[in-house]
Amino acid sequence: MRKEIPHLLPALAAILILIGLLAGGSLFARNIELSYVNDLARVRLKQTDLGSALQEAAFLRPNLLPVFGSSEMYEEDDENSAYRFFQTYPTGFTVFEVAANGLSSLEIAQDLAALGPELKGKKVVISFTPSMFYDLPRVSEQYYASDFSRLHANEMVFSLFISVDLKQRIASRMLDYPDTFANDPILGFALQNLAGRSPPGFLLYTLSMPIGWVQTQIIRLQDHWEVLNWIHANPQALLPVSRQTYPIDWNAEMARAQQLQAELTSKNPYGIENDIWSKRPFLKMGGNITPFASDEKFIQELSSSKEWEDFDLLLSVLQETGAQPLILSRPLNGVMWTAIGVSLPARQVYYGMLQKTVQSFGFPLVDFHAQDTNRLFSIDIYSHTSRLGWVYVDQTLDAFYHNEIH
């Protein structure tokens, strides 16, 4: 037996060399990413959503405010959109958006769990529209797969910073989307044994952690490579922005945006911009939208949505990581919902459910419920934000960054 021991030394040396290479490569990459992350805040790279490297760098920069969200952050791209409005750091910061169409609470929960200790004591904004709670019973396989991050999933499953109970709850939901880990047997094995909640299963999961950790580090290096390769290939996109510090006159911004939005939506009573309204005559029935919903249907779909479970998982991750979040919901487009048959009392059920959920965690919430009947706040039934609505959002982000919202 003693003669066999020396044969273990090369294997041990190889493991130590691998660990050293992983650590050294990550450190080298992180220094470069930290140097460029402010410039990358305005670029909206896909790797920003799928990876962790740039997100970690953003949380290390005190003049960046990370905002995680979906299409409400990503689709409306006018002068009042947050990443444009704050791009010159007028009050000392700009936003760092982690957003994609259809990005769900379950995926944001995995994303934030992947960051783990990077979140402790750090400000972060969770942005969404009410549509995620009533549009579908649960996030579709197509949407979930399009935004799924293998890195975030592995980071969460093999994390040492998230409780076993919370990982088990997240794993149970991830099993509803088996196609996303069909080609990752290590992740699939860990998810199955985590979600099973049996002692033998937990033992098998524990035994899989070393190889899972190594796999995760390799995927992290791939993340770093994608970022560094993009930086090298696109130097023209990284020219520094001229920073201009000045006080923002929010009343003037509101007045300007309201006048412009009123002009852009003058041909209909629903806040839909004129060019869109004129191209979609099926919305018009003698100037009205034909009702096709009811209070009962709205409340039933709202109450049965799987998204509430996923939203609770997201809030639980924020709580366990020690983050300092702002929960930011857009209001329902009450003018359009009234037109299709859903009353204000029914819509208030949404606000009540949201407030009750968030208050149980003690996080600050801004839901703009007072703007529910403001036809100029949203541009469609899904509560995507108008130029005027963006000013409200921008003012809220500014107040949160400057500790005026607790």
Q: How does residue 29 score in pLDDT terms, banded at 50, 70 and 90?
A: confident
Q: What angle do CA 58, 19, 193 make, to 5 degrees?
A: 80
pLDDT at 28: 75
Alpha helices, H only, 41-149 = 46-50, 53-60, 71-74, 82-85, 105-115, 141-147
3-class secondary structure, 90: coil
Instruction: Identify the weakest region by mean pLDDT among 5-19, 185-199, 307-321.
Output: 5-19
pLDDT at 352: 98
Q: Which range, 58-62, 137-141, 291-295, has the best average confidence (pLDDT)?
A: 58-62
Q: What angle do CA 317, 322, 327 make, to 5 degrees?
A: 65
Which DSSP helix (H) or strand (E) runs through 124?
A: strand 123-128
> Residue 64: which of 44, 34, 41 has the closest Cα?
41
Encode 87-114: b = buried (16+ Cβ within 10 Å), e = exposed: bebbeebbbbbbbbebbbbbbbbbbbbb
Segment 152-163, tens digit of pLDDT: 999 999 999 999
CA 262 – CA 145 distance, rounded (Å): 38
Task: Answer whether residue 350 shows pLDDT above 80.
Answer: yes
Q: How does residue 237 score in pLDDT terms, banded at 50, 70 and 90?
A: confident
With beta carbons less than 8 A apart as the criterion, state whether 331 and 367 touch. Answer: yes
Task: Answer whether residue 291 shows pLDDT above 80.
Answer: no
Q: What angle do CA 301, 173, 152 make, to 5 degrees?
A: 120
Task: Answer whether residue 222 shows pLDDT above 50.
Answer: yes
CA 281 – CA 264 distance, rounded (Å): 17
Across-strand partners of 98?
68
3-class secondary structure, 366: strand
Six token digits for residue 57: 């760098």
pLDDT at 282: 45
CA 103 – CA 106 distance, rounded (Å): 8
Task: Answer whether residue 285 shows pLDDT above 50.
Answer: no
Segment 82-132, tens digit of pLDDT: 999 999 999 999 999 999 888 999 999 999 999 999 999 999 999 999 988
Task: Answer whether residue 4 shows pLDDT above 80.
Answer: no
CA 328 – CA 160 distance, rounded (Å): 29
Average pLDDT value over all residues in the chain: 90
149: DSSP letter: -
Q: Which range, 31-45, 149-163, 295-309, has the best average confidence (pLDDT)?
A: 149-163
pLDDT at 275: 84
Q: How does residue 135 score in pLDDT terms, banded at 50, 70 and 90?
A: low
> Residue 247: which of 35, 384, 92 has the closest Cα?
92
CA 109 – CA 152 distance, rounded (Å): 9
